[in-house]
Structure 1
Amino acid sequence: MNQRNQRNQRNQKQTQIFYSARKNLQINSLFNEKENQLQNWTQLSKIKNANQVRKIVSGCNKHCLIWKGTNNLEFYQTNQEDPKCFTIENEEIQDIQSGIWTYLILTKSGKVFSLAQHEKSRYCEIPLSDPESSTFEQIRPVPFFNKKENNRKVESLAMVGCSNYFLCKDGKLYGNGLNKGSLGDGTSNQAKNLPVFIFKDVTRVFGGVHGLCVFFTSKNNELYVCGENRGGCLGIGNSSSKPNSPVQVPNWKADDILDIHTNDGFSILITKEGKTYSCGGSFNNGFSQDKSTFTEIEELKNQKVIQYSGGYEFSLCLTNENELYGWGFRPDFQPTNQYGKIALLTPKKLNLPKYFQNNPSIKLKITCGTHSIFIYPSYRNCLIQDFQKLFKSKLFCDSKLKLNENFELPIHKTLVESRTNLQISTIEDLLNQESFSKEEILIFFKWLYLDQISNQETLKKIFNSLNLSFPPKNSFQKDLLNLYKDEDSKDFTLLIKNENDEDVKKDKEEEEEEEEEYAMTEIPVHKIVLIARSGLFRDMFQNVTQETNSVKDYSGKSIDSLEILIKYFYTDKIEITADHDPLLVLEELEDSIEYYQLNENSNILNQLNEIKNKL
């Protein structure tokens, strides 16, 4: 079987873990055109490389936007066989959000981009100066936040129906779009194309694709809301008030809240303890009666809910035990005998797709669009995943951490010292002074190898003992990049012939005779990185002694492609410059996936295809 067929088979396997459920399947080309209800799940076979999906958002029932890998966007529309593919040049995506007809993309630099369609001036939620020219054919920058002179950098996004909300890094909250008091500027019927200022000193903002109001928390630990108060969905104690400026929601502190999601006439609040509360009209709010204050949902009292998502017709809750609860189906949504007229007014446990039932360790994500539901595995960063496997296997450990409780922890010296900037002996001395337990040390090492902050208080205690500042989230990749740049700490060398060796099947004696005819190029690396990222090197180093500090590479690849691949090992990114022969490098890198036995969840193929499309 050739390498291309093997790759295709691998991609087919990845599509098996991606599911959806919805009514009226025929209106979206993502789904199989057959009868389907909420309890039945359909594999989305058109989505390739599904393990690279980071987030799905879906607005109207004609389309959805999928964020894959680091910076890839796929947009699916009705009756289109293939998605539109987008990237944002020189930016790295941080989040995507969906309203009914608009999609917003936030980058790590604080810029905002829009993918939207303006139909006959009906919608003004597109935050552009010329929304009439917007189509789903291109992603466009939002000038209000992207112009340098404005100096507005966005921290997070939220969307409510046909309104958008932008929380800037300076704590100022802006909003634009249709307005029923939800823009908080003192008006209730004046739509705003360009964003208007709503509130200052904001810490978080919460929305929902079919919501009527927007919630946000402030630096003074309070919860605020503004918008339409249908059925009491604002949670302020009545359903008659119509505030068009932010009002405080009584009895709630920002520190207690995990998430809030607004819907069509009701709102859902989840606490950090996993308790689930609802307010609003009885229409799909999880109760059989109206509530004007947040009240705990009886059917979920014994569950720790970690995710909620709601659309026009139904709601989903996911617990920490991977149990799925749902309710909804609006009885007035053109019911037929095919779908039934039953509305689940209170939560009911639903069956997961069989794939997830058989893999309880998989962390799931749920997303509801207007009339669609998606359930899929949480994105796993391939770079971190490779080091997680190394941590669990305890292979190739070259040092030990000796602690007070008479236990020794085998470690990889280079990785530990690079992430802490401390010598192993220094770490031992400092940790032993505080007499940390084995369990506490393992929490620390889960951060070192897995980039997990599983117990923040314990980690802070350990970092204080080590005289280190508390690490930011997702710092692993930054530390690996710094390791790549640190030439002095590289402890191993790859020896590469300056000319391609086409006859890689020569026996050992012939190779030794030929080697003197070629000059060798040395590529310095960290041995632990090669072992973590490549199955070939893992197998090779099983038979290499600790004293060996170099190996010859017989792949026949050019020096350019090998240098690019080595940098990929550290950064998870393929970078081809103008100095490279792109066609040669692309071909060699594509073949390297199988040769070096890279992680099957790698997004390297996506990156190579993006580069090809730009040539």
Structure 2
Amino acid sequence: MKSKVWFAGVNSQTKIKKIKLHQKNFVLTEINDHIVEMCGSNFELIYYTKDNIFHALGRKPFHGSLFTSEEEKNKNSIVQVTSGFHHNLILTKTGRAFAFLGNLSCGFKEVYNIPTELDFFPLNGLKVTKIAGGEFQSYFLCENGDLFALGFKCTANTQKIKKKINYKKSKVEPLLICQDVLMLHDGNASRHNIYLCKDYTLWFQGAANQIKLENTEQNKQPIQIKNLDNRNIRQICIGYEMSVIVIGEDKVYTCGNVGSNGHNNKVSEFTQLRFFEGKPIEKVRCGCSQVIVLTKENTVYGFGHFFSSSKLNLTPIKINIPDFNYTEKLSICCGEYFSTIYTVNINSLANDFLKLYKSQEFTDYEINKIKIHRSFLEFRLDCEIEKISEFLKKYSKEETNFFLMWAYSDTISNLELINNICNHFGIEDVLEKQLTNDLLKLYKDEESKDFNVLVQDDEDDEDEEDEDGEEFEKIPVHKFILQARSGLFRDMFRNISEGESIKSVTDYSGKSVDSLEILIKYFYIDKIEITADNDPELTVEELSDAKEYYQLNEDSQIHNQLQNLIPNN
């Protein structure tokens, strides 16, 4: 699996094949990994992959697992990476934190040339749920709302701080700086931090020279940020001397230095960029003097000095992404002086249904000269296919294709168009209508299931008999689920003579009915779920070859999910 990566900017250390490091326009390269999340600092471009491997491109390249045993790998999958100016941080789902190339000035005991666990976590037995790297400090948010800092606090005069650092006496114990924190900022290499408390007060701490506050002297104590709709804050992202806050779906506020090299071109209080109204925001990321914004329509915008020749530019521009296929899902990150756009695969469910649509196999209806699966589209829109077809006649084939791409995979390439069509069929919020939620409802709807998987079960005396008199038990399912999710079942359907109507296929794997029922549910919800009536060890044993036997998508995480069912010894 390859991920596309578009890079623009300056970084003398991050050497990526085919990329010119002083590149103002975004240039495409490919990385032979399935990237989940990427982050940049002054010196590194770091990321982790779907197979739970950490990678660093920069001063000291690194590629490998944080753990040695398979059991540790499965329990401690990576959930976040972040960077400071001199260091990188990694967080696992169990709350274990790691540092890579941790500079002594950031409060670490030594410089870490390989990812090294910070042994004071978990703090007081509390799981860490969010991390953030700053210029000379790191932040760790715990599950109970305690926020800890490690390293040196920044003040208004950062240069003096640098000169005063005594590397041999660096602090190595995290300091509790606030309790009852609800949200910690995202971002990298910042001189400050911003956090939202559970009482919905918003606080700023650090280098106060970027923002007009009541106290612009050395800012050792947090200062409250007022006059924002704090209850609807969705994202907080900060860069070297700048900040961005997203409120609701589409309200973007910014403050700080957004001019040349971050000097003397600052917005002194949070100012809304009206440009993004009506463009729901997926993600924002900040660098030293640039911001990039990814909308839920899968479009990227940039503003700041990096995207303009003027000293101060708060007018976002749409970024031209060469060789971009609009069916690919994008994500973004920033380093200090560079920005990166990269592809992340849509979830396995959506990917499978998108492939089914593009293959044009097993279709039984046609709309605007595009073949579709009648029962699937009726289910998604909760409407008869004839009414759907009649309404879509007023749209072009290309517009119909945009809409069907969404119907099959939640891929949004023209939000206004899709909204207009969906509103006609009573769907008020396209972004809220997720394929995963719909398929869960479909799984529970027994009456609409139009097909059966026959499973041999010697223990059941009430099984139905096939033509040869063998006894089988029926597992109800929707035909298009089997066609979308399993290469094995697709091959079975291909071998059926055209025009032949069948209501069932037989599974000859020898697996138990319980295991097959768990697998069929996985086809709908992309999760392995067992009940108290199931034997976890038997489920793992019987389904351990499911990915290969049933020819599941290469991105399927069924193996990892099964491993998590294995009881601890």
TM-score, structure 2 as length reference = 0.65
* CA-CA distance at 1:604 after TM superposition: 6.9
Q: Among residues 267, 271, 281, which one is paired with 2:243 in the alignment?
A: 267
How big is each residue's C-alpha offset from its partner over 1:418-467, in whole Å with a ceiling of 9 and x where there is no partner? xxxxxxxxxxxxxxxxxxx9768535998676147xxxxxxxxxxxxxxx
- In the TM superposition, residue 266 of structure 1 has moved relative to its aligned partner by 2.7
**Contact 1:278–1:286, Cα closer than 8 Å, also in 2:** no
Match of 1:178 among 148, 152, 155: 152
* TM-superposed deviation, 1:376: 2.2
Identity percentage of aligned residues: 24
1:154-179 CA distance string (max 9 Å, x none)? 44333323322233333332222222
The answer as to 2:489 corresponding to 1:537 is yes
1:314–1:327 Cα contact (<8 Å) kept:
yes
Would you say the 8 A contact 1:402–1:408 is kept in 2? no
In 2, the alpha carbon distance for the partners of 1:247 and 1:20 equals 36
Q: Secondary structure at the match of 1:530?
A: helix
Q: Retained in 1: the 8 A contact 2:243–2:254?
A: yes
Change (3 A) 1:446 1:19: closer
Q: Which residue type is aligned with residue 492 of structure 1?
A: N
CA deviations on 1:578-600 (whole Å, 9 max, x unpaired) are 88999x966x854753xxxx446
Q: Residue 223 of structure 1: CA displacement?
A: 1.5
Q: CA deviation at 1:389?
A: 7.9
Q: Report the AA paired with residue 552 of structure 1.
A: T
Separation of aligned partners in 1, 2:387 and 2:316 = 48
Aligned counterpart, 2:206:
227
The aligned runs of 1:210-289 (5 Å cut-off) are: 210-230=189-209, 233-236=210-213, 240-272=216-248, 274-281=250-257, 283-284=259-260, 289=265
Match of 1:123 among 93, 106, 113: 106
Residue 346 of structure 2 corresponds to which residue in structure 1?
380
Matches within 5 A, 1:477-488: none
Partner residue, 2:177: 198
- Residue pairs, 1:360-371, within 5 angstroms: 362-371=328-337
CA separation of 1:224 and 1:355: change in aligned 2, threshold 3 A: same
Question: Measured at CA, do residues 352 and 141 of structure 1 come closer, stay the same or move farther in structure 2, by a change above 3 Å?
Answer: same
1:353 to 321, 337, 341: 321
Alpha-carbon distance change, 304 to 559 in structure 1, aligned in 2, over 3 angstroms: closer
* Contact 2:128-2:140 within 8 A present in 1 as well: yes
Q: Distance in 1 between matches of 2:434 and 2:296?
A: 23
Alignment pair present for 1:90 and 2:89: no
Q: CA deviation at 1:134?
A: 4.3
Give 1:309 deviation, angstroms. Answer: 1.3
Deviations 1:308-353 (A, max 9, x none): 21224543234566142243359xxxxxxxxxx9676425625422
Residue of structure 1 in register with 2:98 after alignment: 114
Match of 1:309 in 2: 285
Once residues 581 and 259 of structure 1 are traced to their aligned partners in structure 2, the CA distance between those partners, rounded to angstroms, is 39
Structure 1, unmatched stretches of 5+, are 1-10, 331-340, 411-436, 453-474, 499-511, 611-615
Aligned partners of 1:397, 1:274: CA distance in 2, in Å?
31
Root mean square deviation, CA, Å? 5.4
| Partner Cα distance (1:90, 1:609) in 2 | 9
Q: 1:152 aligns with which of 110, 126, 129?
A: 126
Aligned partner letter, 1:73 = I
Match of 1:73 in 2: 53
CA-CA distance at 1:367 after TM superposition: 0.5
Rounded to whole Å, the distance in 2 between the matches of 1:286 and 1:274 is 26
Question: How many aligned positions are there?
Answer: 481
Q: For residues 89-130 of structure 1, what are the alpha-carbon distances to aligned partners after superposition, in whole Å with 9 as ceiling and x for unaligned?
A: 3245443333331213141x5x232132345x4431x5xxxx
Give the counterpart of 2:44 among 44, 47, 62: 62
Answer whether contact 1:99 1:209 (CA < 8 A) is retained.
yes
Alpha-carbon separation, structure 2, partners of 1:363 and 1:256: 26
Instruction: Tell me how far 1:151 sits from its aligned partner.
Output: 4.2
Contact 1:329–1:344 (8 Å) recurs in 2: no
Other structure's SS at 2:188 match = coil
Shift of 1:135: 3.9
1:537–1:143 distance in 2 versus 1, CA, 3 Å: same
How far 1:249 sits from its partner (Å)? 1.2
Change in 2 beyond 3 A, CA 1:234/1:256: farther
Aligned-partner Cα distance in 2 for 1:404–1:573? 28
Q: Is the 8 A contact 2:250 2:276 kept in 1?
A: no
Structure 2 match to 1:105: 91
Query: Structure 1 counterpart of 2:106, which letter?
Result: Y
1:132 paired to 2:127 = no
Residues of 1 paired with 2:148 and 2:450: CA distance? 48
1:236 to partner: Cα distance: 2.0
Aligned counterparts of 2:276 and 2:522: Cα–Cα separation in 1: 47
Counterparts of 2:250 and 2:272 in 1: how far apart (Å)?
A: 11
Aligned amino acid, residue 32 of structure 2: I
Find out whether 1:22 has 2:13 as its counterpart: no
Shift of 1:216: 1.3
Shift of 1:294: 1.9
3-state SS, counterpart of residue 380 of structure 1: coil
User: Is 1:41 equivalent to 2:27 in the alignment?
Assistant: yes
CA distance in 2, matches of 1:81, 1:21: 20
The CA distance in 2 between the partners of 1:201 and 1:134, in whole Å, is 31
Query: Is the Cα contact below 8 Å between 2:83 and 2:189 reproduced in 1?
Result: no
Q: Deviations over 1:175-216 (max 9, x none)?
A: 22222259xxxx998964332222233221214212111111
For residue 114 of structure 1, what is the amino acid of its counterpart?
A: F
Distance 1:441 1:496, change over 3 A: same
Q: Distance in 1 between matches of 2:323 and 2:554?
A: 18
Measured in 2, the distance between the counterparts of 1:351 and 1:167 equals 33
Find 2:453's aligned residue among 487, 493, 518. 493
Q: Does 1:327 align with 2:304?
A: yes
Task: Provide the secondary structure at the position in 2 that maps to 1:355.
Answer: coil
Aligned amino acid, residue 152 of structure 2: L
Residue 236 of structure 2 aligns with an amino acid whose one-letter code is: I
Match of 1:415?
none
Cα distance change on mapping 1:493 and 1:278 into 2, 3 Å:
closer
**TM superposition shift of 1:401:** 11
Q: State the secondary structure of the residue aligned to 2:174.
A: strand
Q: Which amino acid aligns with 2:31?
A: K
Matched residue, 1:337: none
